[in-house]
Every structure is written in structure tokens, then in C-alpha cells.
């Protein structure tokens, strides 16, 4: 597994990380705990060093799982987690955002305990809180960094102006936002800012929540516990319309396959991401060992300029249908 630096920071990680959310929530039935622990440790054995979690995943149980699985190899991995939501007292129901300084400290201390560690390598603000100036947020994380409890500061789904304001107070090491072949909005305004300021980029949902693997069609259905059941991009009509995007990936994968070396749509999607910028580190998630190995094999696929141009030309003819979140969640994204 090759390594990449997140921007111009000293934080160097595997070129593909591991998004842990789906191990406990979001995509229907979660795997058994023992299987999830084995999968995480298997990822480490295969060279993955960046593991992404959050207090909100579960909530709380995802951090506990990651902490248990990775405690034996703590010094070999980079742990990223997040603050920024408020839960209703006595329940696990999210009731809003909360990035007040006191709450950030409270969450950080709880995350340290759940992760079984003495430091958080990368602490993200999960969503920008319109009620708390980003300068206060950055200043509080800066204090945690000086105390040694946090090593690096990150933002998630933050707009260009917010990134600049935060970075002026406390260096931002990484921005985490959705980015993939079917969601390319960050390219226009966010990438130039990241490049200028030397900030790394960690795309979540780099495989389009599973769609870009080519395993879905208009007949695919989702359990009520699966977040995709409420997302406009996963309606039957959208899945049918967006198959044109899968056709592009399948054609590129077929052209890359030779003999017993078969490329997959998922590998092309990840290889395409890795080819965009040297400071991009995608974090695909999975619950299966064979999918983990498939994802990691994408690192060995270096798309040529001609291949990238061909994919770009084919994508230009595809109009992706459906919003990525329901309107209520879209309003939570900083622009």
C-alpha cells in the first residue's frame, strides 16, 4: 500500500483509508462484532492506516468497535473521528448541531475513552454549526492540539469561505466531503482552496454508497434501516437513469482487464479518484473481506491520460439524476 500526505501536513496515511460507519449503522443489518473486528484488523494487515469513525455513528458504538479492534495496533494507525451533533438527553436521537467549545471538549474526552487512546490523530467538525463562529471552533481544537489530545484539525462538508476562516486560526489538515464520479461539486470551488492552503482531501462515499460497484439496478430495494431508502438518488427511477454511469465504468474496466487480471467498476471509480490529485485519500467502507481486497487493489491501477480523457468524455454525456440527500439534510451542508 502506497502512502500519501494529506496536503502539506506531516500526516501521512495509506492512499486508501477505511470508512467505518457501515460497520454499525446506515446500510441495513450490521455485521457481527467479531466479524467487524476481524475485518478492521485485516485491513491493517493489508496496509490500511487511516480509519474514519465518529461519535454519531451508532451513535457511539462505532467508536467503541474501532477502539477495541485497533487498540492492539494503535501506533500503526491513524484514527479520525468527529464532533458536532447534539443528542437528546437519555436517547440516541440527533436533535441538532452543537459545536460550542464546551461541547467539543466533552465529545473529545468521550471519544478518547471509546477509542482507547490518549490522542485523536485527526478531529473533524462533522458539520458546520451556523450558531457557533468557525473561529471559536478552530480555536478550541487548537487548544486540544496544544494539550496533546488531538494532533490534527479537520472539517467536513465545509464551504470555501469557512475553510479559509478556520485555517486562519488553526491549520486545517484535511477536509472530508462527498466526492466521486457521480458527485463532483468540490472540484469547482473547494479544490483550488485546498491546493492553495495545502489541505488534504478525504472523500467519503467514493463508491457512491455502493452504486458505483455496478451491483444495483432499478429493482434494488433497501431496508427501512438503510439510509439509502430515503435518498432521492436511490429511487427506482434514479437508479435506472444513472445506469449510464455504470456503463462508463464497465467499459473502462473491460478495457483494463487482461487474461486473469480483471478490473471492476469499483476499482476504476477509486483509481479515477486517486488520479485527480496526489493529496486525495478516499475512504471506502465495506463489511466484507473480498470487497476490502477489491477496493485496495484499485491502488495498483494507474489510469493513463488517455484513459482519464476517455472517461471524462463519456461522463460528459451522462446527467446524474437525484439529489444526494433529502432536502432537510442538504440544508445542513455549508456552502
Q: Helices marked H in 46-86 — which ranges?
A: 61-70
**Strand ranges of the sheet holding 172-178, from the earlier edge strand across to the other edge:** 18-19, 50-52, 78-83, 122-125, 153-156, 172-178, 200-204
Question: DSSP code of 319?
Answer: -
Question: Where does the chain show beta strands of DSSP type E?
Answer: 3-5, 12-14, 18-19, 50-52, 78-83, 85-87, 94-97, 122-125, 153-156, 172-178, 200-204
Largest CA distance in the chain: 59
List the catalytic residues: 57
- How far apart CA 305 and CA 288 sit, in angstroms, is 32
Q: Regarding beta strands 153-156 and 122-125, do their DSSP bridges make them parallel or antiparallel, or are they unpaired?
A: parallel
CB 63 within 8 A of CB 57: yes
Amino acid at each position: 500500500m502506497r502512502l500519501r500526505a494529506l496536503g502539506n501536513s506531516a500526516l501521512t496515511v495509506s492512499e486508501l483509508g477505511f470508512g467505518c460507519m457501515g460497520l454499525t449503522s446506515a446500510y441495513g443489518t450490521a455485521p457481527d462484532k467479531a466479524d467487524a473486528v476481524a475485518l478492521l484488523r485485516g485491513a491493517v494487515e493489508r496496509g490500511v492506516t487511516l480509519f474514519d469513525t465518529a461519535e454519531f455513528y451508532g451513535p457511539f458504538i462505532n467508536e467503541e468497535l474501532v477502539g477495541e479492534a485497533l487498540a492492539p495496533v494503535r501506533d500503526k494507525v491513524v484514527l479520525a473521528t468527529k464532533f458536532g451533533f447534539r443528542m437528546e438527553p437519555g436517547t440516541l436521537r440527533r436533535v441538532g448541531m452543537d459545536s460550542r467549545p464546551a461541547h467539543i471538549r466533552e465529545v473529545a474526552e468521550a471519544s478518547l475513552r471509546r477509542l482507547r487512546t490518549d490522542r485523536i490523530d485527526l478531529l473533524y467538525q462533522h458539520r458546520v454549526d451556523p450558531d457557533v463562529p468557525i473561529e471559536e471552533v478552530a480555536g478550541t481544537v487548537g487548544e486540544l492540539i496544544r494539550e496533546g489530545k488531538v494532533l490534527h484539525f479537520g472539517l467536513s462538508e465545509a464551504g470555501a469561505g469557512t475553510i479559509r476562516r478556520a485555517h486562519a486560526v488553526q491549520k486545517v489538515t484535511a477536509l472530508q466531503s462527498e466526492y466521486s464520479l457521480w458527485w463532483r461539486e468540490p472540484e469547482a470551488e473547494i479544490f483550488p482552496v485546498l491546493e492553495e492552503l495545502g489541505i488534504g482531501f478525504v472523500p467519503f462515499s467514493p463508491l457512491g454508497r455502493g452504486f458505483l460497484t455496478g451491483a444495483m439496478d432499478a429493482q434494488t430495494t433497501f431496508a427501512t434501516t438503510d439510509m439509502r431508502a430515503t435518498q432521492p438518488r436511490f429511487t427506482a427511477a434514479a437508479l435506472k437513469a444513472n445506469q449510464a454511469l455504470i456503463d462508463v465504468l464497465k467499459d473502462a474496466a473491460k478495457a483494463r482487464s487482461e487474461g486473469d487480471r480483471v478490473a471492476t467498476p469499483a476499482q476504476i471509480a477509486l483509481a479515477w479518484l486517486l488520479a485527480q490529485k496526489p493529496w486525495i485519500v478516499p475512504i471506502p467502507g465495506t463489511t466484507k473481506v473480498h470487497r476490502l481486497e477489491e477496493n485496495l487493489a484499485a491502488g495498483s491501477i494507474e489510469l493513463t491520460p488517455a484513459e482519464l480523457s476517455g472517461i471524462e468524455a463519456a461522463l460528459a454525456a451522462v446527467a446524474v439524476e437525484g439529489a444526494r440527500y433529502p432536502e432537510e439534510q442538504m440544508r445542513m451542508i455549508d456552502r
